[in-house]
Structure 1
């Protein structure tokens, strides 16, 4: 073998990639929007000015009748009352996007509920200027790097991974990181070769690097023999004899659902909806690129509609924003000493009801167009489900009063906090349950999922995790409520037979794991 530098870490099981090293001058991260009142005032003023300028330019090119409509919008954008209402919200700690939406809510509702048809028609103009300013607030695009390169760094933000176009190949080699981190999960879903925990090393930009996601090996300046050795003796997955190709899943008797975990809209365009039973987990926080998007009801609604159209009538389970932890979109969790144990998931949403209500409205509207279920993240106590359901019901009543088509979706909860798993029978307000084994393992082991030095504790904890899953599934069955699993354990063929034995009949996995799971599923079915 060559004298090239060889480093050993942990792989994500997604093959290998070779390319020139991309070494960022400083750690790349998303544009973190932390709330500073003076900065938020400035950002909102600038966004409104941009919206006015765009409308003025459009007015100069349109006929008089259309110009009247645009001039009304300009007049409203310059209305000092609206500006003062937004400023008041910023003074209370809201960022510019949420302050702007809050300032316009009463205006829009008032127009929509008017008995005068001409005034009701103005509601569309108010919605237009609301969304125009939100688009102006979207801010800086996430930093990116060249296609086909091997990203080499200490760690990688999930938003940076999602902003990159992986169709041109490439891979990831991280000094730190963990195979249980969110960016590792995203890499598995897209089949991007990745090695983590390889330790500190120096590599010049553009130096060829080989990443073997199967073994966790990283080779700096590899030779032909290195590349040939990595690709050898790795046969493609073969479906078991007797696989029923007339069924999209070749399921064993007794009924078993396999759904997909989706984190990026672009993923669905490369997938056949008929290859799964639906979407078991749509991670909505990864669909958006800025804090302004968190306040943009229309953008969220359109994203959900796109997913529903692809699903073609199959069920789609949409998780509410799971912010905090290692997903600091909008700056949430950045200043917490231990963000995984802090204000994240449903805790954060209930503390910021404006954000929750915006997402609830988008989901209620989308539910009128397809089969949607809503999943609450990081639930610890029954009151969190009850409070969230109340907010959905209030927003449903408000939308119905405004003659907006809606449907109330089933509302379920992630089971990823041990306290919730142990007292599952108290969650009568939840319509269904979904086991999130990544965080459940993290909290069971008291070992951070993004810390490579304690990564081995995850594997040692599998027996305890399986025991808790079996107990939780039994309780859910006694309650007569559906329960599935959407964590990484569901996509691990080694443990599928144990999950089936525990009573699990629905799993949601990364699309890249489907072939291996089908094989293991058929074997488990034939063995049983």
Structure 2
């Protein structure tokens, strides 16, 4: 579909992968790669004038800087430079950029950086549609001007804390449209209440999908060209069930989807009544349903929805999107807050899982294949001071409740021994400093590298618990980048090799009396609940919002019958027929 073939405000549809079920109706907020590099947050209404003044001050500063540069040009400077500098100064004075950016601050309560980036994209798009080659190339001047102002804005201290905007579910909200959204970007964007996420790239277990699930908002990924085809402000319908995006829908279609949205919200409200109902199978097997969280503030929602504990606290989000590293006290307070919020229910905290597509601010990934490089526990063992700080904070938080330390990407027993030594060292340092901590703490490993899944026995013997990270396990077993939309069809949680590794891990853990959970995206996929029960799984960990639907499925399932069905299916070489397996 070519952009030129689409008249303004024409209705059309796009297809991708629906990774979070639900419906969203709202206006597009189209973000380019440059726009995502700046802060995005809403301001309060009484901050509009202050934020506009901040924008104007940065633009005035940019104009002054350009004037100084022009005055100080050496005599032998190329003759083209002075006219370009003058063009840039004129652009900074242009009402289309200056006043319209301020208007976005007033109308949408955008912060200055977001408003400038949004308006700049609109101007750039207009330039790029001009037939004259010379004028069309002036879009580069607009980009350079905006980048200069953004640098000035970013050189100041953060102006305001992100303000979540509460909207009625049937109101038109903003829908993020981007080529891709990195974990760091998601950390910023999650602080604002968007209605949905749409991306060109990504798959069902990309970080866009994972965080969208934790926020419980619809998301469609792998759309291919959505950022080019959709314009800022276009009205959108997002169908997360079917992976459909309808752009500029007719009023009749809008009404149909508003009815679907209302019905979906009614069903969600009914499911919430299961909050205090134990997740018990028909044949009396108690299943534990725990929550995955990225930030301490999410623990309260997990507790309120009835989670049996925190099965995965992704601690790396405390480290990302900042210039410095969190101190021991800062980490301690974050972990302790989660433990206290859960009121005695277990809290599993994963140590820093940095690397691959998650990097600390200022660090660049130079590995040929970062997914297989210095990441997760490998990174922590290579940075012992950083690791000691986190371990001390985790131990201190354990005095408030049951803390389970989860180590990511373990592949050898030597790494387990190294972690034990590091943990012992952290304990001894706390004793020497007279700092209180719980004397008993559980240590477990993520089962996400095929090596540990195949040779699970020594790990089951020497660790207190295991947690299967299906996202990376499937990626490594199938040799498929889980964020690559081009090979998303090969990312198959029902492949016999994947299921046999999960079954093997669960079975051997049972032999050694060690609890095992699944904390990957498979755990929250209600279509796979009965299959996981049939594999013998007794603990699921997922985004809190998915717990009610999974619980509903468990309440109508017969565990023993499913174990027999799944055992029979695993003996076959072909892919398991999920439809037959789900027959009740």
User: Normalising by structure 2, what TM-score?
Assistant: 0.67
Partner of 1:5: 12
CA 1:166–1:406 in 2, change beyond 3 Å: closer, same or farther? Answer: closer
Cα distance in 2, alignment partners of residues 251 and 372 from structure 1: 27
- Residues 186 and 26 (structure 1), Cα distance of their counterparts in 2 relative to 1, 3 Å cut: closer
Residue 486 of structure 1: CA displacement?
Answer: 0.7
Q: CA deviation at 1:353?
A: 0.9
2:293 is equivalent to residue 262 of structure 1: yes
After the TM superposition, which residues 100-115 of structure 1 pair with which residues of structure 2 at under 5 Å, given as runs?
none
- Alignment match of 2:218 (pick from 190, 193, 208): 193
CA–CA distance in 2 between the matches of 1:139 and 1:359?
27
Decide whether the 8 Å contact of 1:248 with 1:276 is kept in 2.
no
1:247 aligns with 2:274: no
Out of 293-302 and 389-398, give the one that drifted further. 293-302
Alpha-carbon distance in 2 for matches of 1:431, 1:31:
42
**Using the alignment, how far apart are the partners of 2:287 and 2:316 within structure 1?**
28
Aligned residue pairs: how many? 422
Answer yes or no: is 1:502 the counterpart of 2:535.
yes
Cα distance in structure 1, aligned partners of 2:22 and 2:269: 19
Asked if structure 2 preserves the Cα contact closer than 8 Å seen for 1:492 and 1:517, the reply is yes
Shift of 1:432: 1.0
Q: Which deviates the most, 246-255 or 426-435?
A: 246-255
Matched, 1:420 2:458: no
Alpha-carbon offset, residue 360 of structure 1: 0.3
Change (3 A) 1:305 1:338: same
Instruction: Tell me the CA shift for residue 397 of structure 1.
Output: 0.7
TM-score scaled by length of structure 1: 0.73
Q: Which digits, 9 at most, give the CA deviation of each residue in 1:306-328, with x for residues without a partner?
A: 10111001100000011111111
Counterpart contact for 2:281–2:557, Cα < 8 Å: no
Pick aligned residue for 2:251 from 214, 224, 240: 224
Q: SS of the counterpart of 2:558? A: helix
Could you tell me which residue of structure 1 aligns to residue 239 of structure 2? 212
Matched, 1:356 2:387: yes
Q: Distance in 1 between matches of 2:508 and 2:558?
A: 24
Q: Is the 8 A contact 1:280 1:317 kept in 2?
A: yes
Distance in 2 (alpha carbons) for counterparts of 1:173 and 1:341: 28
Alpha-carbon separation, structure 1, partners of 2:549 and 2:286: 19
The root-mean-square deviation of aligned C-alpha atoms, in Å, is: 3.1
Give the Å deviation of 1:205.
1.9
Q: Which structure 2 residue ranges, 5 or more long, are not aligned?
A: 1-8, 40-154, 166-172, 562-584
Give the drift of 1:347.
Answer: 0.8
- Cα pair 2:311 2:347 within 8 Å, conserved: yes
1:381 pairs with 2:412: yes
Give the secondary structure class of the aligned counterpart of 2:492: helix
Deviation at 1:249, TM superposition (A): 3.7
Alpha carbons 2:183, 2:208 under 8 Å: kept: yes
Q: Aligned partners of 2:349, 2:293: CA distance in 1, in Å?
A: 10
Deviation at 1:381, TM superposition (A): 0.7
| In 1: Cα distance, 2:248 partner to 2:427 partner | 59
- Where 1:490 maps in the other structure, the secondary structure is helix
Q: Separation in 2 of the partners of 1:165 and 1:285?
A: 15
Unaligned runs of 5+ in 1: 33-136
Provide the rounded CA distance (Å) in 1 between the counterparts of 2:289 and 2:303: 13
Corresponding residue number in structure 2 for 1:182 = 207
Cα distance between partner residues in 1 of 2:300 and 2:328: 23
> What is the aligned partner in structure 2 of residue 489 from structure 1?
522
Instruction: Trace 1:24-423 onto structure 2 (pairs within 5 A).
Output: 24-29=31-36, 148-165=173-190, 168-200=193-225, 201-232=228-259, 237=267, 247-249=277-279, 253-273=284-304, 275-290=306-321, 294-332=325-363, 334-407=365-438, 408-423=440-455
Q: Point out the structure with max Rg over C-alpha.
A: 2
Query: Which piece of structure 1 moves more, 461-470 or 165-174?
Result: 165-174
Q: Secondary structure at the match of 1:199?
A: coil
Cα pair 2:274 2:548 within 8 Å, conserved: no
Matched-pair contact (CA < 8 Å) for 1:333–1:343:
no
Alpha-carbon distance change, 244 to 18 in structure 1, aligned in 2, over 3 angstroms: closer
Summarize the Cα distance change of 1:508–1:481 in structure 2 as closer, same or farther, 3 Å threshold.
Answer: same
CA contact (8 A) 1:325 1:333 kept: no
With over 3 angstroms needed to count, the CA separation of the structure-2 counterparts of 1:274 and 1:176, relative to structure 1, is: closer
Task: Please identify, of 507-516 and 145-154, the stretch whose mean Cα deviation from structure 2 is larger.
Answer: 145-154
**Equivalent in the alignment of 1:451:** 484
> Among 544, 554, 568, which residue is 1:521 paired with?
554
Q: Deviations over 1:45-66 (max 9, x none)?
A: xxxxxxxxxxxxxxxxxxxxxx
Shift of 1:138: 12
Distance across 2 between alignment mates of 1:485 and 1:516: 16
